[in-house]
Amino acid sequence: MTGDLFDNGEPRLLDLPDADIRYWPRVDLGAPLDRVLKELIEQTPWRSEVITLWGQQHPQPRLTAWFGDPGARYTYSGLALEPLPWTDLLSDVRRRVGTLADASFNSVLMNYYRDHRDSMGMHSDDEPELGRNPVIASLSLGEQRTFVLKHRFRKDLKPVNIELESGSLLLMKGATQHHWKHGINKLSRPCGPRVNLTFRQVSAGLT
Ligand SMILES: O=C(O)CCC(=O)C(=O)O
Ligand SMILES: [Fe+2]
């Protein structure tokens, strides 16, 4: 296909200690962003999961879906997710993201923030099946939301806010997950929907 590299450009390397994070403001998905967003919202079998945190059950404040190669199982916050098979759209996006990230991914966690009330708590993506230094490629579509990064140990460092634009790709690798937490806060004002896709490589058989 022609025009594959049209929007991608060079990523910006974030100047953060103990982290390797790159940001592409706009990647080429081979189709208009609003069409991809609409298709993902309408055609994904979204789930509302109940998670267990510190022995308490809570509904997750967003919808999720897990796609991947057979056997790419993922366990977090008391949930064990079996992968759905790749759709044509998701496997095309996986190929494009893998080329930019120069990495291979066998799964994707999809997050659907329906409006300003949906969020994701601060966490590190450090589950054992992700391996020691996971490469995580996070593609955002729809409403721009703020990605907050906080150092896990250095209280002298202020939280860092990154505005994740529609069509952007954020790549976290190296020791990032050992030293930093990240999350998406609720907003006080209404906003439109956002879909986020975090591509991952999970090892089978660890869970
Ligand atoms: O929605 C986002 O940008 C963050 C997603 C995330 O951190 C995750 O899925 O682990
Ligand atoms: Fe995460």
Edge-first strand order for the sheet with 107-113 is: 12-13, 20-24, 169-173, 136-142, 194-200, 107-113, 63-68
Rg for the chain, CA atoms, rounded:
16
Q: Which residue among 24, 64, 182, 197 has the greatest number of ligand 1 atoms within 8 angstroms of its CB, and so is best to mutate?
A: 182
> Does 12-200 carry CATH code 3.20.20.10?
no
Residue 138 CB–ligand 1 contact under 6 Å: yes
Pocket test for ligand 1, best of 114, 116, 198, 201 (most atoms within 8 A of CB): 198
DSSP string across 58-115: EE-SSEEEEEESTT--EEETTEEEPPBPPPHHHHHHHHHHHHHHTS--SEEEEEEE-S
* Ligand 1 midpoint to CA 125 (Å): 9
ipTM rounded to 2 decimals: 0.99
For the entire predicted model, the pTM comes to: 0.93
List the domain boundaries for the chain: 12-200
- Mind listing the pLDDT tens digit of every residue in the chain (207 residues)? 334 445 788 999 999 999 999 999 999 999 999 999 999 999 999 999 998 888 899 899 999 999 999 999 988 777 888 999 999 999 999 999 999 999 999 999 999 999 999 999 999 999 999 999 999 999 999 999 999 999 999 999 999 999 999 999 999 999 999 999 999 999 999 999 999 999 999 997 544
Looking at the CA of 170, which ligand is closest? Answer: 1
